[in-house]
Amino acid sequence: MSHFSQIKTQIRNLSSLQAALDDLKINWKPGPATVRGYQGQTHNAEVVIEQENQYDIGFRWNGTEYELVADLQYWQHPLTVNGFLNQVSQRYAYHTVMNATSQQGFQVAEEQKNEDGSLRLVVQRWSA
């Protein structure tokens, strides 16, 4: 019986996911790599975050999105699973927006971090 949990996300872009983890100063390694779990069970993932207890956290492509894969019983990250996913998702959204607006010729005119942790971005594009 597998102890691994698969948690759905809205993460679909690998480079934005990796940039989000970098922003959060989370050490990760690119895949395909092995996520280690209970009793030697493993899963392959495109991003692996090793924990000191030898039970890893991974993000694996399921054909639609990068789902979080981990044995939650051995979760050792300082944040809860939801807290971790919320932080990763916020930084992922930031990079996704920045990439999309840049491709359309926009530049960031203003970036403000609010007291509640949300971000406010103002982008502009000059046209001739």
In this prediction, residue 2 carries a pLDDT of 59
Handedness of CA 89, 90, 93, 98 (dihedral sign): negative
| Side chain identity at residue 55, one-letter code | Y
CA distance 79 to 77: 5
Beta-carbon count within 10 A of 64 CB: 10
pLDDT 10s digits, 39-93: 888 899 999 999 999 999 999 999 999 999 999 889 988 899 999 999 999 999 9
The model's pTM is 0.85
Q: What length does the chain have? A: 128
CA distance 117 to 23: 15
| Side chain identity at residue 121, one-letter code | L
Which whole number is the average pLDDT over 102-122? 85
